[in-house]
């Protein structure tokens, strides 16, 4: 606390940040107005993050919101809230007059502008300056210089920062792209000049792919950023993504706060990050840090920023881009350096000199961050899912766990944005400790109502290659060449899972015989009973013997005994139990009267069916329900909107031919034919909104 009191000055910070409402009509507006696409949940989580620091510093906060966002989380946690207008963004969050009024009305002395939106508006900066209100963040000149990939690369080159060989200008058309690619040499990366977060980015290995990539990227760039300029550079194969956090004040001083390793990515978006990196030696770290600082100095940068590098296997590093906002993964840097980056940003904005010298910046312990997404990891390592968070419980009761999120139980996850639920950070004295903590945190994280990527996160952090630090941005496709399939059970784990399901089944059966105060129930002597059960898992059938003593169950499976004990609270989302003396936390996702039980075990959810031996032996008479033949039916793998349909009834299509393109969360996905056939019927058209599993096209 003492440290915070050193920073007086602001009584009030106005958070002119947007929380986006999720209905369809309005989203169209937002996308074209935003220069960077970031998901609203994350924005809200940043605001909450900022408000938390302000509270510690004794600064009062004001949240601005539109009519419809009055119940959003950030509005609740701020000290005051001001409504700046009705739902349409042009009348509220983009209404400069309304926001200036809010500033005057509340007497706010500083504005944290959030992402995009007014943060890059020179007019807004000017008006704030005229009123004597401080703007928290880098100035607009630096944002614009670094926001443009072409310009930023030129500046970096001039500042003697290592850059990737490539073409520095804007590429005019697909043919020019092919020509340039030939000059640089394949593979090449085509990316949107205005882009970020992997949107509008494509890799090409030959001329054909270059043409196709050019087409896709320019479409995506146009729809995501309203700017279809593309550039091309050499693609560094198998690199690591390591970034340096910098902090610069308004007096020309800058610091580097060590690195963050962000190599675990899917489709160029980060999934798991850690600080420090297992890969960097002190010399490389210093060299990268010094180049990052010299880039910050070159653009007269002030506030917190991030310089991203690609690092090849020989520890050569190349400048990628500079991010001028507080990044999603900033908490891991805070963990190992002990600095509060938001506090530093506020101090810098107020004009204070940097508090620390480069030699003051430590690396204490290890921090890991998992990005928890509402997406299905079994489809391309994560296709968006939507839904309402019917149950939501963060593992905050565990020590050294931090969760930054902008959502709450009951929140809706919609199809129009990156579906990030939260960033889950764990900290330990050693990497091993931090990773162990992450396992626990993921096991204790309750998310119901949407499909989430915890199965994938839980697998990554225990994978031998990850644990040994042998990673690159190719980690996921290399480790799971056939796609992610969930946790593969060992024989021992399988027994643990079967035993847990059997014990849970018996506990539930026993409870269903407990009627309070009913004298007409004939008492079943349960204590002395022995249960013969049949448990199905992945088409394997197991005969189990279960005996019980209090809350302890002994389950016999194929001659092996498994001891399971626990509280067996059937209402709790978490199922903390002890299996053969080992503590485990499972989650019961589903338990039906017909014996179906879904358990989340080691991150992955497993479907089991528990039946009495009698029911199991009679099951063979039950009619087989014929599953639908899916090869001639194309269904939408996710909720989204149809961008284009390239076939009509009667067309002949070849296997693998594109049938239509679905866009969700700003990603375009090409849907292809599963076999060579004639198109029977088309059930969608460009512009339609489709749900997961909706029928798109039928083949004959």
Active-site positions? 325
Q: In whole angstroms, how close is the CB of 523 to other proteins at the nearest point?
A: 7
| Distance (Å, whole) CA 302 – CA 170 | 28
The answer to the question of residue 639 lying near other proteins (CB under 8 A) is no
The answer to the question of residue 357 lying near other proteins (CB under 8 A) is no
The answer to the question of residue 541 lying near other proteins (CB under 8 A) is no
How many other CB atoms are found less than 10 A from the CB of residue 482?
A: 6
**What size, in residues, is the chain?**
700
Specify the pairing of strand 188-192 against strand 420-428: unpaired
The answer to the question of residue 595 lying near other proteins (CB under 8 A) is yes
State which of residues 104, 286, 388, 685 lies at the interface with other proteins (CB under 8 A).
388
Instruction: From 62-70, 121-129, 377-385, 639-647, give the range in contact with other proteins by CB under 8 A.
Output: 62-70
Kindly state the tokens that stand for 320: 């990628």
- For residues 329 and 692, which CB has a smaller minimum distance to other proteins in the complex? 692
Region of residue 85 (left: phi > 0; alpha: psi -120 to 50; beta: else): left
State which of residues 23, 238, 364, 652 lies at the interface with other proteins (CB under 8 A).
23
Helix axes 149-158, 140-147, angle to 10 degrees: 100
How many other CB atoms are found less than 10 A from the CB of residue 515?
A: 9
Q: How many residues bind other proteins (CB under 8 A)?
A: 43
| DSSP-derived secondary structure for 592-661 | -TTSEEEEEETTEEEEEEEEEHHHHHHGGGSPPPPPPP-TTEEE-SSSEEEEEE---TT-EE-TT-EEEE
Helix axes 207-225, 174-184, angle to 10 degrees: 120
Instruction: From 162-170, 213-221, 348-356, 509-517, give the range in contact with other proteins by CB under 8 A.
Output: 509-517
- Write the interaction track for other proteins spanning residues 445-474; mark x where CB under 8 A is met and - where it is not: ------------------------------
The answer to the question of residue 71 lying near other proteins (CB under 8 A) is yes
The answer to the question of residue 68 lying near other proteins (CB under 8 A) is yes
The answer to the question of residue 614 lying near other proteins (CB under 8 A) is yes
Q: In whole angstroms, how close is the CB of 518 to other proteins at the nearest point?
A: 6
Kindly state the tokens that stand for 334: 């805070």
- For residues 385 and 472, which CB has a smaller minimum distance to other proteins in the complex? 385
- Write the interaction track for other proteins spanning residues 243-262; mark x where CB under 8 A is met and - where it is not: --------------------
Within 13 Å of residue 285, how many CA atoms lie on the same side as its CB? 20
The answer to the question of residue 621 lying near other proteins (CB under 8 A) is yes
CB-CB contact of 423 with 361 (8 Å): no
Site for other proteins in 521-540 (CB under 8 A): 521-524
Q: In whole angstroms, how close is the CB of 685 to other proteins at the nearest point?
A: 24
């963060």: which residue's tokens?
394
Q: Please name the helix (run of DSSP H) or strand (run of DSSP E) that holds residue 334, with its range, or none.
A: helix 330-337
- For residues 429 and 514, which CB has a smaller minimum distance to other proteins in the complex? 514
Site for other proteins in 560-579 (CB under 8 A): 569-572
The answer to the question of residue 605 lying near other proteins (CB under 8 A) is no
Within 13 Å of residue 26, how many CA atoms lie on the same side as its CB? 19
The answer to the question of residue 626 lying near other proteins (CB under 8 A) is no
| Distance (Å, whole) CA 558 – CA 281 | 51
How many other CB atoms are found less than 10 A from the CB of residue 592?
A: 9
Instruction: From 231-239, 362-370, 492-500, 610-618, give the range in contact with other proteins by CB under 8 A.
Output: 610-618
State which of residues 206, 364, 430, 513 lies at the interface with other proteins (CB under 8 A).
513
3-class SS of residue 35: coil
State which of residues 511, 648, 675, 680 lies at the interface with other proteins (CB under 8 A).
511
Specify the pairing of strand 134-135 against strand 110-112: parallel
- For residues 142 and 507, which CB has a smaller minimum distance to other proteins in the complex? 507
State which of residues 409, 439, 493, 651 lies at the interface with other proteins (CB under 8 A).
409
Chain residues in the site for other proteins (CB under 8 A): 23, 67-68, 70-71, 388-392, 408-411, 511-518, 520-524, 569-572, 593-595, 611, 614-615, 618-619, 621-623, 625
């Amino acid at each position: 606390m003492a440290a915070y009191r050193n920073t007086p000055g602001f009584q009030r910070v106005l958070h002119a940040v947007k929380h986006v409402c999720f209905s369809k009509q309005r989203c169209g507006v937002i996308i074209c107005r935003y220069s960077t696409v970031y998901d609203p949940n994350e924005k809200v989580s940043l605001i909450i993050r900022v408000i938390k620091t302000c509270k510690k510093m004794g600064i009062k906060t004001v949240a601005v919101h539109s009519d419809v966002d009055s119940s959003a989380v950030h509005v609740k946690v701020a000290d005051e809230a001001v409504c700046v207008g009705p739902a349409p963004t042009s009348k509220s969050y983009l209404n400069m007059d309304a926001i200036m009024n809010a500033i005057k009305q509340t007497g706010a002395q500083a504005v944290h502008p959030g992402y995009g939106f007014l943060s890059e508006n020179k007019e807004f900066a000017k008006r704030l300056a005229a009123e004597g209100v401080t703007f928290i963040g880098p100035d607009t000149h630096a944002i614009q210089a670094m926001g443009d990939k072409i310009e930023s690369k030129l500046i970096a080159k001039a500042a003697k920062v290592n850059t990737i060989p490539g073409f520095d200008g804007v590429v005019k058309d697909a043919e020019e792209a092919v020509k340039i690619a030939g000059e640089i040499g394949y593979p090449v990366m085509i990316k949107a000049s205005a882009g970020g977060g992997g949107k509008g980015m494509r890799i090409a290995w030959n001329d054909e792919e270059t043409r196709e990539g050019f087409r896709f990227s320019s479409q995506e760039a146009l729809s995501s950023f309203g700017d279809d300029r593309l550039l091309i550079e050499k693609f560094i194969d198998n690199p690591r993504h390591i970034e340096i956090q910098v902090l610069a004040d308004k007096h020309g001083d800058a610091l580097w706060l060590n690195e963050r390793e962000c190599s675990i990515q899917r489709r160029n978006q980060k999934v798991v990050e850690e600080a420090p990196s297992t890969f960097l030696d002190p010399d490389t770290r210093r060299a990268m840090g010094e180049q990052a600082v010299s880039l910050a100095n070159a653009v007269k940068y002030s506030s917190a920023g991030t310089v991203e590098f690609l690092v090849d296997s020989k520890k050569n590093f190349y400048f990628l881009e500079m991010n001028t906002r507080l990044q999603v993964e900033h908490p891991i840097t805070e963990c190992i350096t002990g600095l509060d980056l938001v506090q530093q940003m506020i101090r810098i904005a107020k004009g204070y000199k940097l508090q620390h010298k480069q030699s003051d910046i430590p690396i204490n312990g290890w921090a890991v961050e998992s990005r928890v997404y509402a997406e299905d990891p079994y489809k391309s390592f994560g296709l968006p899912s939507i839904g309402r968070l019917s149950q939501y419980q963060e593992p905050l009761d565990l020590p050294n766990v931090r969760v930054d999120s902008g959502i709450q139980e009951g929140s809706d996850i919609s199809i129009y944005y990156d579906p990030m639920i939260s960033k889950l950070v764990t900290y330990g004295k050693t990497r091993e400790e931090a990773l162990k903590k992450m396992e626990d945190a993921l096991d204790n994280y309750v998310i119901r109502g949407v499909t989430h990527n915890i199965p994938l996160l839980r697998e990554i952090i225990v994978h031998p290659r990850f644990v040994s630090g042998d990673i690159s941005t190719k980690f996921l496709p290399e480790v799971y060449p056939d796609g992610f399939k969930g946790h593969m059970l060992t024989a021992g784990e399988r027994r643990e899972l079967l035993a847990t399901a059997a014990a849970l089944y018996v506990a539930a059966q026993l409870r269903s015989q407990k009627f309070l105060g009913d004298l007409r129930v004939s008492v079943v002597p349960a204590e002395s009973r022995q249960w013969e059960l049949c448990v199905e898992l992945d088409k394997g059938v197991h005969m189990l013997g279960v005996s019980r003593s209090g809350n302890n169950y002994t389950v016999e499976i194929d001659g092996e005994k498994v001891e399971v004990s626990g509280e067996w609270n059937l209402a709790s989302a978490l199922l903390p139990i002890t299996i053969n003396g080992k503590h485990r936390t499972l989650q019961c996702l589903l338990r039906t009267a017909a014996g179906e039980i879904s358990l989340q075990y080691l991150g992955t959810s497993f479907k089991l069916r528990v039946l009495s031996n009698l029911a199991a032996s009679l099951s063979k008479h039950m009619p087989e329900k014929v599953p639908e033949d899916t090869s001639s039916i194309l269904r939408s793998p996710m909720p989204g909107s149809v961008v284009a349909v390239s076939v009509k009834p009667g067309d002949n299509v070849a296997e693998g031919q594109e049938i239509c393109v679905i866009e969700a969360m700003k990603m375009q996905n090409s849907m292809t034919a599963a076999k060579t056939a004639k198109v029977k019927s088309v059930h969608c058209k460009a512009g339609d909104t489709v749900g997961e599993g909706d029928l798109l096209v039928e083949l004959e």
